[in-house]
Amino acid sequence: MVSKSDYNLLQSILDIVGFIIIAIGMIVQSIVRACLPKSYRKFKELSGQNVLITGGGGGLGRLLALRIANQGAKVMVWDVNEEGIQETLKQVKAQGGVIHGLKCDLSQSDDVYRVAKLTREQFGDIDILINNAGVLSGKYLLDTPDRLIKLTFDVNIIAHFWTVKAFLPAMVSKNNGHIITIASMAGHVGVSKLVDYCSSKYAAVGFDEALRMELEDQGVTGVKTTAVCPYFIQSTGMFGNVHSRFLSTLKLSDVADRIVEGIRREEEVVMIPSALRWTILLKILMPWPVVSMFMRGLVPDAAPEEPSNKLNNNMVKPISKEAVNVKND
């Protein structure tokens, strides 16, 4: 007669074997899908989709608005800078796109929920949410004012909670939607002078992964999530003067194109360039002195100037006067 402990052991062995077989199948499927020519890959159509882009008043946000509107989507941009919003609207409409814009201070949850309500009333439910807005202080930790540390977290990650809570319920009810988190490679490796920024981007990567896990756990298979992790991007107002050795900084237009491709392919993670995936593996395998030496050699200075809270690809004007004048502290 088989004892209960023997039965449990047998069940555990069968579970492990089953997991390994299924995992191997998924890995093979993933490799085959990655190796397929683009003409054979499945791409999601963006035409007719309602797309919200935070920080859409300039930089990467504006380029995403232009490209996504060009795919036939209806675009809504949020930004704290009204002039930036109007310029984005002007450029998108000039190419025949459909776009709307609303001013929103993402560092304030009340404003996020207020503008979200206006968005639903004027624009309808959001099908694709792109949390793109972000800020950077670019100072050594001990030189960074407390209010800028708080601002970095409020915009770079805390705002994601408010926007997702505002628009996810409708996605879940329809079992259809897509949430894109613009994170960073700084969400996987630490960089000097970016302690607050890296911390917020680590949180953004974790937010995306935990949200995806939660949706799968609840059986919400139609709502997808994507974490975008680019290297330093040129012409965003954040890392234009970064000292980067061995690896070139990224062109804004290339990053925008790759993000749109990642959205249409519903990729879980988009690393730009994709070769940086291997650095994550090396970080796990290598001892810390090797990791530190490599990163300090790759990025000798992430913020060679002392920016006045330079704003990301995403928010062209300061959230408030106090948020900008770092040098006055």
Q: Which two tokens stand for residue 51?
A: 């797309």
Nearest-angstrom CA–CA distance, 61 and 91: 12
Query: Computed from CA positions of residues 314, 180, 259, 53, in that sequence, does the dihedral angle turn out positive or negative?
Result: negative
* Helix locations, 36-145, DSSP H: 59-70, 82-94, 109-123
Nearest-angstrom CA–CA distance, 270 and 277: 10
Q: What is the DSSP letter of 99?
A: E
Q: Which two tokens stand for residue 217?
A: 């756990």
Which one of 140, 197, 202, 231 is the catalytic residue?
A: 197
Distances (CA, A) of 195 to 143, 253, 278, 308, 323: 11, 27, 23, 16, 18
Q: Among this protein's residues, is 231 annotated catalytic?
A: no
Distances (CA, A) of 225 to 114, 216, 269, 298: 24, 11, 9, 30
One-character DSSP codes across 170-222: HHHHHT-EEEEEE--GGGTS--TT-HHHHHHHHHHHHHHHHHHHHHHHTT-TT
Q: Which two tokens stand for residue 156?
A: 């770079």
Q: Are 242 and 200 in contact (CB under 8 A)?
A: no
Residues carrying an active site annotation: 197
